[in-house]
Structure 1
């Protein structure tokens, strides 16, 4: 642990209610913050060791969504770091849309590695986080041991994404009181259940920041183009599923075909890793182990 990190690290209050025990051993959990271009970004570390995994979340979600997977990997001897990207969770939420883009989210992830004094890691994420992982592999392939890409959002998802998030953007811009009202109701829900907390975290938004986030993401570069994806040579585990227009099976299947070192796993549903995680957790742990030659 770097001296800077040790100074900033504190026991995680965001995840304290979710802490679980693996047998008689409980992974260390530390929360910290660091500065990125004048904005504070928040993260949580699970476990310790030289083999590192970094996980980022879906759009409007928070790092809490990856807490169960992070704990499971930490119990297997990995150091896992979950990051709240700018505009999410406990990180700052500026109201300027130009601050939000997939390439900049990738730079935030690399800044986290710099802050922790880490050379390279397995980088993974879900939905927005999956695309961020791809961008990291393009910007700094030497710092990526492998990619865990769950539910990527490529060309086939653009229209469905706009139809899904367009009304949210409209509400945040022109009916901000609705966003504030939903957030106020979400804050009334008691914390303590992992997935109830994930949902309430997602509903607790700030109208101006939410509008800026959605505008910046959906009117910028959603994902690396096909002409670039073939240059991503690091090992990759791509997880996709059917029956979800925002994360269509065709996008995951296409991505797996585009990446020279990809393995593909088909999930049974969008929530398998959340509600019935054993099979996919084993697949992810096995892939991370191969990345580190375990």
Structure 2
């Protein structure tokens, strides 16, 4: 059995006789000189992988990343979204279609490169405590979801388990050296700016996002997923209203249900109700449609 699906038809796992590592969403296979990244339909919340998936989510993430890799003028790792012929000759690859990215191998930079254009999430919490976000001083009196005077770069260390840790840019400089840290900051802010211009034309706001980079022969390369609902906060511009939380195109319904269902966020998480699954699926689909229409 090379695939595991849940009762709703969500792909929860792949299993091929190749070297593999698995993250919260992706199964990554080593093909020798390349990687095959398979986006499953797994969904995580509060640092748990949930027992229910979101059908077709992996295809949406792959299609969204491919759109941005094609659209952005940036060196990236994506080579193809076709399933390798060698795999097709041995296995039933139909469930993989639309879920696969064949990529270059890169030496991964051990920081999340986060860019924030609006005040929400962990950035909001830090600002409310200190008036600063990862060393970036901000004007007093900002409200939840206010647009920042200009986008800020707020790196985070990559945790093997649990939450990533927001850090000051100086920590990145200390760990990576000034040249590489400055390059990552400049590239992140540039990509975010270009993406926001496109999203604005589509009636969407990209409140914040996180990028991952790697090195290929010493060259900085954009890797992993990019500007998806899993890695970014998308809001609809026509209903944007600062001073409160915004409706978003991500796992909002999942988080809200888990926060009110009685789960203690310590034990194994519960199965998701069908309506939460459907609402979440429709939000991911809407984000893709609006970005690419």
The alignment's TM-score, normalised by the length of structure 2, stands at 0.32
Normalized per residue, which structure has more helix?
1
User: Structure 1 or 2: larger strand share?
Assistant: 2
TM-score for the superposition, normalised by structure 1: 0.32
